[in-house]
Amino acid sequence: MLEAPPVASDPQDPTGSVLVDDGVAALGQLRSLWLHDAMLPGVIQQTDPDIAEEIVATVRRFVDREVMPVANELEHADEYPTALVEQMKALGLFGATIPEEHGGLGLDVVTYARIVEELSAGWMSLSGVVNTHLIAAGLITRRGTDDQKARLLPRMATGELRGCLSLSEPDAGSDTSSLRCKATPDGDEYVLDGAKAWVTNGMRASVVALAARTPEGITCFVVEKEPGQAFEGISISKTVGKLGYKGLETVEMVYDGHRVPKAAVLGGEAGLGRGLHDILSGLELGRINIAARACGVARAAFDAAMRYSRERETFGKPIGEHQAIQFKLADMATKLEAARLLTRSAAEKYQSGERADVEAGMAKLFASETAFELATESMRIHGGMGYSTELPVERYYRDAPLMIIGEGTNEIQRLVIARGLLQRWQAANPKG
């Protein structure tokens, strides 16, 4: 999986067809040296620190050399980054958190979050290409049947099969109890009927983690389909235009009498009625992804502000030497560091096998608000140039709000955090 497709050998190739140095080969060599000890159930083994550093450095070089030169042009054209996605496949990023036994890299969540930050610092949309894919893969890894794991995970790890998550509906977003999409038993099959909204990667996906109502309650189905506008009883009814987060599709999908075998229930018969629990648990990883994305956008905005504060001069000196700008830079750096530490803390908690709903919510809440604030402050520091499309600052400003809304709005995050804190307090102080 980690072998690159044939590419030109010229490191200066202007077409962008050359992968980062020998990054793919290096990852393959590192992976072969990574020996695993026995894992405790629910615990994600820590990635060897040296390997983690090399992987993150490889992704950073990929972003610097391949992504940054083309990101603005692709984003403004709202063009799907086909060539970049192919290179991400070759780097193994579609299998980042998929266990090695199923062909993935088996990285821990801390390393995955660092990769997401690097991608997002270059172009946030790239992290969206892999986010719901790995949420779907994670659901199959943790809850899938042996057959579901064996058939789907190896091909998902290479990116041959793309995954997406389908939970929200036109009339049911944060209120998951209002889901209307239903799965009606019919012999050895289920018949799916309903509409789903805000499905990222929905058109290009081959595997959909779908929440639908069965007689037992909300159940998660692993729906297999062909990529494209329509497949049997599944159709794309609308492609959503967006303020930012361009270059990949966000769609509404309709299920009209679409039939799936009973074997499509995530985890088999034991998974009936527990879909909401499984998907919401999977969203903890999604919220860590969103927090890491926010850190990437915030870092890019901060770096742009630092660079401009040294280049731009007023009143005979760089603007970075004016106290007003220094105050802004100090606050930006402090909040960025805090956001990254919260994200790391949530990732460490998640990979330890403990419930991380509070920590993931805190990281997502703080990091996303920080990204929006830093994008705004960077634009102010840049003045008129920050408002122009010549620099990527305006892109950061348009991309940042997604993290405030995605994987549960920040208003919902505050509820998740507060309820989790109260539950933990009650458990620790039963007489209090």
**SS3 category, 310:** helix
CA dihedral 135, 63, 89, 404 (to 10 degrees): 20
> Which residue do the tokens 């660079």 mark?
307
Q: Write down the residue that tokens 């088996």 correspond to.
A: 106
CB 301 within 8 A of CB 393: yes
Find where tokens 């920050």 sit.
Answer: 386
- What is the Cα–Cα distance from 307 to 362, expressed in whole angstroms? 30
What is the spatial distance between Cα 217 and Cα 303, in angstroms, rounded to a whole number? 48
Strand, coil or helix: 261: strand
* CA dihedral of 228, 229, 233, 237, whole degrees rounded to 10: 150
Q: Which residue in the list 160, 284, 407, 411 is annotated as catalytic? A: 407
Instruction: Tell me which H or E stretch contains 260.
Output: strand 250-261
List beta partners, residue 261: 189
Say how far apart CA 213 and CA 191 lie, in whole Å. 11
Closest CA to 354 of 47, 113, 139, 43: 43
The verdict on whether 252 is a catalytic residue reads no
Mapped onto helix, strand or coil, the DSSP state of residue 6 is coil
Q: What DSSP character marks residue 16?
A: S
What single DSSP character describes residue 102?
A: G
Residue type, 42: G
| Active site residues per annotation | 407
